[in-house]
């Protein structure tokens, strides 16, 4: 048995590349003109991956006195930015100053951001010790209009109108019995699949995706090597063009896992071993997916190797937890606040502990579970905790597949039954 496990580890190493987390992109001083309510404003802004990023204090300065004015606070000890809507901004000096024009060093910001006490999902970069935020993300959070005129290379900010999202993000929680599978259609048109249920559900997952017009899966995530999560992956990987595959550093000796590894090799897509701190993508037309767990090198239980993903779009976020249990939940130090929680381990009592649930504070919870399963999932304790948190609960055993659509501000829900 030890020899077989060693061989699997060697095969995993041969097939997969080490994840490097979120790579720092290049930032160049923006050449775009900016109009605020029709008035030209000289912002110090940077173009990163084709998007313009601004300092919040500069935006607050430019919007002061308007319908969407806001104040900005900074807690250096807590590394936190606080925004207060409707409050006039008090300048501290240096706002709207000109940049050096040089290409600066960039790193991902670790600062937390809140608006009126609510945590926001804002992608930020730290440049020259300042945090810079994507204008569309800020517009979605504070609800002001953001426009772009490519012919004139001009960004427009209109505080008399609300924010209009560029596109809709759709999340499909597929009914695969006592297993997990989530499919995401990103605003950019790209796709993300997380898990694919047991092997017997592989054909159904493929059929569901083809019914949605899917021909390529850009991002494929196998949260951990249990059969009810990766069993259907072999069929999926052989049925579509695959962009990249992401897995945790976990192996098992099961035949299902060996079939999965063989399917990864056969599909020809690059594959990555990732853990907390990595990023699947930083900006797919405003959507970002960060890996929050696992945080330790090894666990006794395969469930705790589960890749936990936080998918954000505009001011909303979805948290996908695989089968992560209380140990992994406690290890996560990153922001886990999410409007939608994919409940861990099919609603088992060993997941979704009270402290973790309080940090997530979901409005919606989805439990992927099989009808009349032998495990007693979902546990009464978990359902009680979700009820106490005020989350609207959807279950695939009762509702069938569940679809949620998000425009960056609002979330709508539809069910199969």
Cβ atoms < 10 Å from Cβ of 361:
16
Give the mean model confidence (pLDDT) for residues 260-272.
96
Distance CA 255, CA 345 (A): 22
Q: Where are the alpha helices (DSSP H) in 165-292?
A: 202-211, 227-230, 233-237, 255-267
Q: Where are the domains of the chain?
A: 2-19+166-415, 31-158
Asked whether residue 20 carries a pLDDT value surpassing 50, the answer given is: no
pLDDT (0 to 100) of residue 22: 42
The DSSP 8-state label assigned to residue 37 in this structure reads T
Burial status of residue 285 (CB atoms within 10 A of its CB: 0-12, 13-18, 19 or more)? middle
Burial readout 239-254 (b: 16 or more C-beta within 10 A, e: otherwise): bbebebbbbbbbbbee
Q: What is the pLDDT of residues 129-151, one digit of tens each?
A: 888 998 888 998 999 999 888 77
Q: What is the pLDDT of residues 315-351, one digit of tens each?
A: 899 999 999 999 999 999 999 999 999 999 999 999 9
Q: pTM of the full predicted structure? A: 0.71
- For the chain, the average pLDDT equals 90
pLDDT (0 to 100) of residue 94: 81
2-19+166-415 CATH pick, 3.60.15.10, 3.40.50.1240, 3.40.50.920, 1.20.1250.20: 3.60.15.10
Question: What percent of the chain is predicted at pLDDT more than 70?
Answer: 92
């Amino acid at each position: 048995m030890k020899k077989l496990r060693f061989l699997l580890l060697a095969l995993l190493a041969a097939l997969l590349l080490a994840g490097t987390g979120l790579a720092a992109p290049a930032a160049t001083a923006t050449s775009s003109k900016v109009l605020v309510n029709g008035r030209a404003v000289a912002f110090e802004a940077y173009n990163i991956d084709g998007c313009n990023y601004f300092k919040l204090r500069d935006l607050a300065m430019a919007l002061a006195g308007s319908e969407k004015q806001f104040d900005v606070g900074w807690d250096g000890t807590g590394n936190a930015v606080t925004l207060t809507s409707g409050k006039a901004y008090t300048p501290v000096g240096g706002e709207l100053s000109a940049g050096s024009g040089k290409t600066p060093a960039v790193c991902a910001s670790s600062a937390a951001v809140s608006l009126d006490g609510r945590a926001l999902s804002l992608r930020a970069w730290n440049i020259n010790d300042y945090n810079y935020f994507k204008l569309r993300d800020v517009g979605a959070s504070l609800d002001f209009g953001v426009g772009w005129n490519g012919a004139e290379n001009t960004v427009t900010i209109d505080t008399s109108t609300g924010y209009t999202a560029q596109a809709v993000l759709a999340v499909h929680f597929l009914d695969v019995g006592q297993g997990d599978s989530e499919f995401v259609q990103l605003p950019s048109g790209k796709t993300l699949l997380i898990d694919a249920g047991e092997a017997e559900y592989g054909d159904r997952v493929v059929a569901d995706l083809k019914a949605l017009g899917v021909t390529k899966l850009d991002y494929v995530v196998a949260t951990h090597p249990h059969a009810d999560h990766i069993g259907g992956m072999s069929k999926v990987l052989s049925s579509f063009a695959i962009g990249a595959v992401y897995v945790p550093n976990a192996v098992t000796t099961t035949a299902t896992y060996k079939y999965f590894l063989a399917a990864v090799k056969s599909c020809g897509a690059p594959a990555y071993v990732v853990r907390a701190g990595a990023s699947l993508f930083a900006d797919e037309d405003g959507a970002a997916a960060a890996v929050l767990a696992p945080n330790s090198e090894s666990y006794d239980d395969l469930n705790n190797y589960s890749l936990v993903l936080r998918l954000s779009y505009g001011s909303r976020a979805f948290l996908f937890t695989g089968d992560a249990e209380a140990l992994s939940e406690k290890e996560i130090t990153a922001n886990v606040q999410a409007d939608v929680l994919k409940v861990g381990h099919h609603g088992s009592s060993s997941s979704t502990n009270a402290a973790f649930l309080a940090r997530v504070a979901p409005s919606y919870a989805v439990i992927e579970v099989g009808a009349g399963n032998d495990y007693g999932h979902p546990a009464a304790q978990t359902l009680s905790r979700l009820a106490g948190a005020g989350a609207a609960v959807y279950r695939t055993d009762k509702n069938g597949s569940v679809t949620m659509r998000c425009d960056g501000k609002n979330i709508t829900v539809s069910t199969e039954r």
